[in-house]
Chains A and B, each alone.
Chain A
Amino acid sequence: MTDLVTMRGIDKAFPGVRALKGAEFDLRPGEVHALMGENGAGKSTLMKILAGIYRQDAGEVLVGGQPVDLGSPRAAIAAGIGIIHQELILMPHLTAAQNILIGREPRKAGGLLLDEAALNAYAADVFRSMSLSIDPRALVGSFTIARQQMVEIAKALSFRSRILIMDEPTAALNDKEVGELFAIINRLKADGVGVVYISHKMDEIKRIADRVTVMRDGAYVGTVDAKETPISKIISMMVGREIDNEAPAAPDLSAAPVALDVRGLTRGSQVRDVSFAVKAGEILGFAGLMGAGRTEVARLIFGADKADAGEILLGGKRVEIGAPQDAVRHGIGYLSEDRKALGLATGLDVRNNIALASIPRFSKLFGVLDEQAMHAAANEYIEKLAIKTPSDRQPARLLSGGNQQKIVIAKWLLRDCKVLIFDEPTRGIDIGAKSEIYKLLNALAAEGKAIIVISSELPEVLRLSHRIAVMCEGRLTGFLPAGAPQEDIMRLATLRGNAGRNT
């Protein structure tokens, strides 16, 4: 059987970076071929070449055994290649049908007018063939992320793609939605479509992939069978070294003072009567399904939203937190889920990002900033947290996800925060940088910081937490000790209460 795709000896350089060095990849009909590697390994670049978004400097691409020139997205589409990008790219103001057929609208009146009826009928057909119940006339902006993803897939399939590239398709999906996505992928497989699946999540690879190709530093490392190869082997192929994945023993905190005490925190139906305490030196993990209200709790503590009821005590004293600046003044730092949108000023350099929450400290007469002191402070944390950057003047957006996360941590450390709330601290960060962040969190706890970690990845919660709080539908359903079995967490995470339904 001819391979759908063969890529050989692909080189690609960007200004200052050699993104790909002799990369290889092949795809067979009816298989799910996972493409793995740390961030910056070149997976997305390789697939963007296949999708006609970038052009390779050297190397050849064969589709169905024939050499092809994929000079533009249009050429790739014509060659039967569809791509679903990591960040969904749809037009929210347009309907589902209009999104699917953008650029290929059926016409009437001699091509002068658009034929909306035909457009909607066509989209309805595509959805039906995928067993999806989506109204073609509904605005895409009103859809959940999962639904938007389905629209993207429908769009790719409507081009009769034989090759479908999915770049981290489950990043924003909950478990049920992941199940729906996998059902669709399985149907596509049965139809002979080849799927390239880029993901960091090992359990997904095990569930859905047939083969795994690993890349590292822009080069091909190897291709292995997905079902038979142990995860540890795949990880060591990715990082080229062994990873310390042992959970540290929970420290004895019986004598430690309570740093943060939250009582009866409530906001609408999102957060209902949540009470918990974190001791200095403790890492409290928050587990739960998406929408359980964990981020909402963090935002209430940080003053980003207003609570309907409840009180917050810091070091035993009740504090009023009406806005984030109150929280910062009281020594609470919040590292948001979406670093780029909320945590990091990507246009500013590393120095200014680190100093951002401590500007008054660096202000001299007439508000002139003491650049020397900022430089010294930034460098102290660059060294302390091992932030990889050419200098403290490097724009933050040019750093990798892991290093960006470290900058945000440095910002709050410089502010001398006693309570640090980490919301999805390793989202979009590769495995090597992940374990560094884990070490850093442990070190911070050992210094006596009280740390809250919110994570959707159960292994991460288990790996980090000294104690685990589980939420479901806005309520805190229970606490578990470090190393609790995953089943116990899932039981609490799905424990729907009969109380508190008085909306």
Chain B
Amino acid sequence: MSDNVFASLIGKSQGAGGARYKLLAFGSLIILFAVFSLASPNFLQTSNILAILQATSVNGVLAIAATVVIITGGIDLSVGTLMTFCAVIAGVVLTFLGLPLPLGVAGAILAGAAAGFVTGNIVARLRIPPFIATLGMMLILKGLSLVISGTRPIYFNGTPGFTSISQGSIVGTVIPAVPVPNGVLVLFAVAIVISLVLTRTALGRYTFALGSNEEAVRLSGVNTQAWKVAVYTLAGAICGIAGLLIASRLNSAQPALGQGYELDAIAAVVIGGTSLAGGSGTILGTLIGALIISVLANGLRIMSVPQEWQTVITGTIIILAVYIDMLRNRNAS
């Protein structure tokens, strides 16, 4: 089974060229690890590795949401502010209404799915280009978060278990030496589930098919609008999970947060080899892309490189990644 899961993670069925590229991205990650561990003895310490993974969890989950949409040939600029919106909804359910934790979790995920459903309909039925539709949704959700919260952070002090969604460690209670935070487990769980959805289910098949040639799918008698709405709804639900993770980490829903996260998420997707033209991409690639961004940030910080330069380096890597992707496509054709 683990073999199968791994195969679906790298998305073997979606092209050998893709696998080779993933190897490249993975190789880059290894090289980064090697360089940073030589540069600083602190880098490879368990606590630092766990910190990197923890820092990846929110962006990783968001990037998975963005991947799903990008494979259809779309783009989602609203993942960041939707994440915040879902965190605020969790705050409303748990802190304002004082309801139990599971309802808060469900509320955040449902709110994400609902927002995704709306976005999907704007894209699929009103035929607004995804860039514009999600740009609009990004602002709408940002505004709504501020309105609902009264522009103030909502704290989860009344719900003691809430911080353990991301911060606690189930693994740590079993193996105290490796206290992998729950947030990292959530990231991996989301990655595995979405990989399976993409490679094993009809929804996944149509996700790739829509990005490959939407007209062909439509003329094959498939209800493309409904499936596209489903894809955006799924992406929204994943953003809901990201909202829970970030709120749990901060023990609060910060309504002003969120904008800018979508760019990191898209960067992870692109570095991971998913084509912005649609039709191809894998969750493993996105995970590696998100890890590369976190490792860079962490490693450069350990080496005392100013944060401003980290941004410059990340930008350079994005352009490099896309350029390599283009070379790969040229060779393939």
Contacts and interface: CB of A to CB of B under 8 A. Distances in A.
Interface of A: 53, 72-74, 77, 83, 85, 89-95, 98-99, 102-103, 105, 107, 112-114, 116, 137, 139, 142, 155
Interface residues of B, number: 24
B216 A89 contact: yes
Contacts of B279: 91-93
Given A73-B220, A73-B221, A102-B222, A89 B213 contact: yes
A137 B15 CA distance: 10
Nearest to B196: A113
- Candidate in B220, B222, B280, B332 with the most chain A CB atoms within 10 angstroms: B220
Contacts of B42: none
Interface string B189-222: 0000000000011101100110111011111111
Given A73-B219, A95-B13, A102-B220, A90 B213 contact: yes
Contact of B205 (A77, A102, A137): A102
Contacts of B217: 91, 102-103
A116 B200 CA distance: 8
Given A93-B212, A103-B217, A114-B202, 19 more contacts: A72-B221, A77-B221, A83-B219, A89-B213, A90-B216, A91-B212, A91-B279, A93-B279, A93-B280, A98-B205, A99-B216, A102-B217, A102-B220, A105-B202, A112-B201, A113-B200, A113-B201, A114-B204, A137-B13
A94 B221 contact: no
Contacts of B212: 91-94
26 contacts: A53-B219, A73-B218, A73-B221, A74-B221, A85-B219, A89-B219, A90-B213, A91-B209, A91-B213, A92-B212, A92-B213, A92-B279, A93-B15, A93-B212, A93-B279, A94-B208, A94-B209, A98-B209, A102-B205, A102-B209, A103-B222, A113-B201, A114-B200, A114-B202, A116-B13, A137-B13
A5 to B, nearest CB: 19
B14 interface: yes
A107 B202 contact: yes
A480 B332 CA distance: 38
Interface of B: 13-15, 200-202, 204-205, 208-209, 211-213, 215-222, 279-280, 332
The 5 closest A-B pairs by CB, nearest first: A91-B212, A74-B221, A93-B279, A89-B216, A103-B222
Nearest to A119: B205
A85 B202 CA distance: 25
Contacts of A95: 13
Contacts of A114: 200-202, 204-205
Contacts of B222: 102-103
Contacts of A102: 205, 209, 216-217, 220, 222
A425 B145 CA distance: 59
A248 to B, nearest CB: 41
Contacts of A93: 14-15, 208, 211-212, 279-280
A44 to B, nearest CB: 14
A102 B202 CA distance: 9
Given A72-B221, A74-B221, A92-B279, A139 B201 contact: no
A89 B217 CA distance: 9
A114 to B, nearest CB: 6
Contacts of B200: 113-114
B213 A105 contact: no
Nearest to A113: B200
A291 B212 CA distance: 27
A121 B33 CA distance: 44
Contacts of B220: 73, 102-103, 155
Nearest to A90: B216
